[in-house]
Amino acid sequence: MVKNKRELGKQKESLACELLKQNGYQIIEQNFSCRLGEIDIIAKDGKYLVFVEVKYRKNTENGYGFEAVDAKKQSKIKNTSLYYLTTKKKSIDIPVRYDVIEIIDKVYRIQKDAFSF
């Protein structure tokens, strides 16, 4: 039994990592955070460095997970990804992509290139 939202979030992010691995992604880092925000998963998919946001919903009563990644959230993720690239001394020539994983109950969808910079 899950005790709180943070614990549930960690469980779903771990599940998302497994789903990404099954789909050929290489996990680089989980829960990267800085003063600008947090990125759930950073992974490599082919030539892309991928910043992944995970959204879990028990059901769709309150909408879909993809809908929660609005312009404000996208901006926060983009700024955090720039900080990551700068502090990790990654080349600006690395192709970057932003994916969202939506988990509703036990069904998941990976939306590749969910938004762009």
Alpha helices in the chain (DSSP H): 5-22, 71-87
Q: What is the mean pLDDT of residues 25-42?
A: 96
- 2 alpha carbon, distance to own chain's centre: 21
Q: Do 22 and 61 touch, CB atoms closer than 8 A?
A: no
pTM over 0.85? The answer is yes
| pLDDT tens by residue, 4-21 | 877 877 888 899 999 999
Q: Within 13 Å and on the Cβ side, how many CA atoms surround 61?
A: 3
Query: Residue 3: what pLDDT?
Result: 63
CATH topology of domain 5-115: Trna Endonuclease; Chain: A, domain 1 (3.40.1350)
Task: Report the C-alpha gap between 92 and 102 in whole angstroms.
Answer: 28
How many angstroms separate the CA atoms of 25 and 16, rounded?
11
**Residue ranges covered by each domain of the chain:** 5-115
Give the pLDDT of residue 77: 97
Question: What's the average model confidence in pLDDT over 85-94?
Answer: 83
